[in-house]
Amino acid sequence: MSDLSTLHVGGAAPYDVKVGTGLLGELPAMLGAGVQRVAVIHPRALAATGEAIREDLAQQGYDAHGIEIPDGEEAKLAPVASFCWQVLGQTGFTRSDAVVTVGGGSTTDMGGFVAATWLRGVRVVHMPTTLLGMVDAAVGGKTGMNTTEGKNLVGAFHEPAGVLCDLATLETLPRNELVSGLAEVIKCGFIADPLILDLVEQYPEAATTAGTDVLRELIERSLAVKIGVVVDDLKETGGAAGHPGREALNYGHTLGHAIERVERYKFRHGAAVAIGMTFVAELARLAGRLDEATAERHRSILDRVGLPTTYGGGSWGQLHEAMKVDKKTRGDQLRFVVLEGLAKPAVLQGPDPALLTAAFAEISR
């Protein structure tokens, strides 16, 4: 296949991330030898795609089953995991069988969690169909489910056996979903690869259009950032020499996840992260850690692609409460990933409450 690129994820359980179009033929090799049963987990919106993949596997001799889950965050709830476990139990899924997820980040998070927990771990191949899924959620082994108390509070690290990013799937993705995924791309630009920012600023239209060379380059650059970070610190235990390690990928997520929860998950993840990045850039500026121009660049680049940089929903009190269950929190101390310059992520621990409210005032409308 001429347009195929392969990015390798090293570490104890290495795997490949393939990017191209028409990648279904790559699936059996990623599943590996000895797999008899395959569960294809997909959201309702991708019923036809999920069924086509199931049928293709069945024609190749696999005992293939489709499992339909809800769209969006509704998938990341305990009863959905329970339903998936029930199907795996009823179809006699063993440790040599495999899960395939086909969908966005909510599907890879839930399907990955099911694979991590069934028999304490079976193989999973992710086939992300959103920009966000391709550049972020499908890679690195984080899986997550929401509880009443907050976002992604239950999960496991479970690396996939491989990831297939079929760029053709982005053709049917609504524009607002593509733009949401661009927030994680821009995040990669700020924390590690500023060339991403230059590309988005120079070609905002192509960056938000499926099928363009610019979008493909952004996908591959963001994947390289994500892979580089997770290879060094898979389980988020910390980076080397002052680098926050995997926590860097959480840039903008402390307030972002709180907004998602306060908005009852009606807010797109990327939109919430965009506001969260603008907030934390202001926080770093007010704390004397970040220059004004870089803080301002957050607003201008996010604005340019149609991502929000201000928030007029829940109160600071509600958001502050929701941030306390963030996984970076230690005891009573909130911890934020901040920038000390482009591609210079660091951690700001226990900031003065006055700084937090001042930064919030900067993004409030």
Ligand X SMILES: NC(=O)c1ccc[n+]([C@@H]2O[C@H](COP(=O)([O-])OP(=O)(O)OC[C@H]3O[C@@H](n4cnc5c(N)ncnc54)[C@H](O)[C@@H]3O)[C@@H](O)[C@H]2O)c1
Ligand Y SMILES: O=C(O)C(=O)C[C@@H](O)[C@H](O)[C@H](O)COP(=O)(O)O
Return residues touching ligand X (CB under 6 A).
43, 45-46, 71-73, 76, 103-107, 109, 129-130, 132-133, 136-137, 140, 142, 144, 152, 169, 172-173, 177, 180-181, 184, 269
Residue 153 or 358 having the CB closest to ligand X: 153
Which structure tokens are listed for 306? 């149609």
Query: Is there binding between residue 103 and ligand Y (CB under 6 A)?
Result: no
- Catalytic-residue membership of 320: no
Is 129 within any annotated ligand binding site?
yes
- Catalytic-residue membership of 176: no
- Catalytic-residue membership of 220: no
How does DSSP classify residue 290?
S
Query: Is there binding between residue 177 and ligand Y (CB under 6 A)?
Result: no
Is 169 within any annotated ligand binding site?
yes
Residue 73 or 282 having the CB closest to ligand X: 73
Which structure tokens are listed for 165? 């990013």
Among residues 187, 257, 261, 328, the one annotated as catalytic is: 257
Closest residue by Cα to residue 118 from 95, 102, 141, 146:
95
Interface segment toward ligand Y; rule CB under 6 A; list 111-119, 161-169, 242-250, 356-364: 242-250
Q: Which single residue brings its beta carbon nearest to ligand Y? A: 152
Query: Is there binding between residue 144 and ligand Y (CB under 6 A)?
Result: yes
Partner from ligand Y, ligand X, none contacting 43, C-beta within 5 to 8 A by type = ligand X
Report the distance separating Cα 224 and Cα 173, nearest Å. Answer: 23
360, 316 in Cβ contact below 8 A?
yes
Residue 146 or 278 having the CB closest to ligand X: 146
Got the DSSP string for 123-147?
EEEEEE-SHHIIIIITSS-B--EEE
How far is C-alpha 97 from the geometric centre of its chain's CA atoms? 25
258, 322 in Cβ contact below 8 A?
yes
The interaxial angle of helices 353-363 and 316-323, nearest 10 deg, is: 120
Residue 295 or 322 having the CB closest to ligand X: 322
295, 329 in Cβ contact below 8 A?
no
Partner from ligand Y, ligand X, none contacting 208, C-beta within 5 to 8 A by type = none
- Catalytic-residue membership of 247: no
Look at the block and give the residue holding tokens 């963030």: 326
Size of the site for ligand Y (CB under 6 A): 11
Residue 126 or 297 having the CB closest to ligand X: 126
Residue 26 or 247 having the CB closest to ligand Y: 247
Is 253 within any annotated ligand binding site?
yes
Is 171 within any annotated ligand binding site?
yes
Work out which of 26, 68, 97, 136 binds ligand Y, going by CB under 6 A: 136
Query: Is there binding between residue 140 and ligand Y (CB under 6 A)?
Result: yes
Phi, psi dihedral angles at 158 (to 5 degrees): -145, 105
Partner from ligand X, ligand Y, none contacting 133, C-beta within 5 to 8 A by type = ligand X
Note the helical H segments in the chain.
27-31, 47-59, 78-90, 105-117, 131-132, 175-191, 194-202, 204-207, 213-232, 253-262, 269-286, 292-304, 316-323, 353-363
Is 292 within any annotated ligand binding site?
no
The SS3 assignment for 311 reads strand
Report the distance separating Cα 166 and Cα 304, nearest Å. Answer: 26
- Catalytic-residue membership of 289: no
- Catalytic-residue membership of 221: no
The SS3 assignment for 348 reads strand
Closest residue by Cα to residue 283 from 224, 225, 363:
363
- Catalytic-residue membership of 257: yes
Is 187 within any annotated ligand binding site?
no
63, 37 in Cβ contact below 8 A?
yes
Q: Which residues are annotated as a binding site for NAD(+)?
A: 71-76, 129-130, 142, 151, 169-172
Supply the residues annotated as catalytic: 120, 142, 184, 226, 236, 246, 250, 253, 257, 269
Q: Which residues are annotated as a binding site for Zn(2+)?
A: 184, 253, 269
The residues of the shown chain that bind ligand Y, judged by CB under 6 A, are 136, 140, 142, 144, 152, 184, 246, 249-250, 253, 327
